[in-house]
Homo-oligomer: A and B are copies of this chain.
Amino acid sequence: MTSFSGIFTGCATASVIALWFAEAGRDIERVQRARSAISVGKLSGAVGTFAHLPPEIEADVCRRLGLEPAAVASQVIQRDRHAEALTALAITGASLEKFALEIRGLQKTEIGEVEEPFAQGQKGSSAMPHKRNPIGCEQVVGLARLLRGNAHAALENVALWHERDISHSSVERVILPDSFIVLDHMLRRFTRIVRGMVVNADRMRENLNRSRGVVFSGTVLLELAKKGVSREQAYEWVQRSAMRSFDEHRDFKALLLSDPEVTRVLSASEVERAFDLDEQLKHVDHIFDRVFHPVRA
């Protein structure tokens, strides 16, 4: 579920889903807090002094509406609350943007590890029948920008004259409905995408192998360091073979095993161990436990 773009992330595949899950959890928390921040009401009159209606009426009306009476208000509920709401929506939108960006990156023809669901008979591109564009993810990415622009307007709405001019009113008629509707759409659309997305595990393995083993260079580096080779020295040796592997399309491990300076320090089986994928993945279950079964203090 992640690209192998020049880094060793094969083992991180499942971690990425865990990472999305954890971030979505934080987003939900932020949106819930923001919801409670704006779930307040006031019925205390034009300057908030209850000049014409007693606080009891406010309390009663708010209770019926499921709102909390604002402890103090001017003519209006203060707009720091709505700024919190719209920035929470914008952050959630940015998370979805990140997730969608990942799918777009992995759907590139040359990578091809993940694809948006694509219905039989659907047109990906009117001009190019072969194309399967990640149009859903592109839409999600774009709409995140709209949420940010609206959040900025909400931040500008906070500083009203005398805590109560109504310059925020015209703005909010646009940004409040638009932001909620847009995020709702993004969530529904992205949920459908994740539900139906195609994961090409074979292609992931193939892409990983195309690196000719250089993704394990960090592990080799550490093995050398453990044997007392200075980091600078080890770096130079490893980089030398990695670069040759890239430039000459040769197997990285074979290049290391043919490098006398390396083999003077590491045995063949020690080199071999550095290329063990299971070793890389040994702590993944621990991460999953932390994310999916968190122990609350």
Contacts and interface: CB of A to CB of B under 8 A. Distances in A.
B287 A129 contact: no
Residue of A9, A51, A169 most packed against chain B (CB within 10 A): A51
Interface string A50-65: 1110110000000000
A72 B26 contact: no
Nearest to A30: B84
Nearest to A18: B72
Contacts of A44: 283, 287
Give the copy number: 4
Nearest to A221: B129
Contacts of A133: 6, 166
Contact of A218 (B4, B52, B102, B178): B52
Interface residues of A, number: 132
A166 B138 contact: yes
A11 to B, nearest CB: 5
Interface in A115-161: 123, 125, 127-133, 135, 138-139, 141-146, 148-153, 155-161
A193 to B, nearest CB: 14
Contacts of A167: 138-139, 141-142
A138 B165 contact: yes
A279 interface: yes
A210 interface: yes
A201 interface: no
A153 B145 contact: yes
Contacts of A218: 45-46, 51-52, 127-129
Nearest to A174: B146
A199 interface: no
Contact of A12 (B49, B149, B222): B49
Contacts of A35: none
A47 interface: yes
Contact of A149 (B26, B102, B149, B239): B149
A80 B49 contact: no
B148 A47 contact: no
Nearest to A54: B283
Contacts of A161: 3, 5, 101-102, 104-105
A251 to B, nearest CB: 13
A294 B133 CA distance: 34
A46 B283 contact: no
Contact of A162 (B3, B211, B221): B3
B239 A80 contact: no
8 contacts: A18-B71, A45-B127, A72-B291, A138-B165, A142-B167, A145-B171, A148-B153, A174-B178
Query: Nearest 10 pairs between A and B by C-beta?
Result: A130-B242, A149-B149, A94-B158, A130-B214, A50-B283, A5-B108, A87-B87, A142-B167, A130-B217, A129-B239
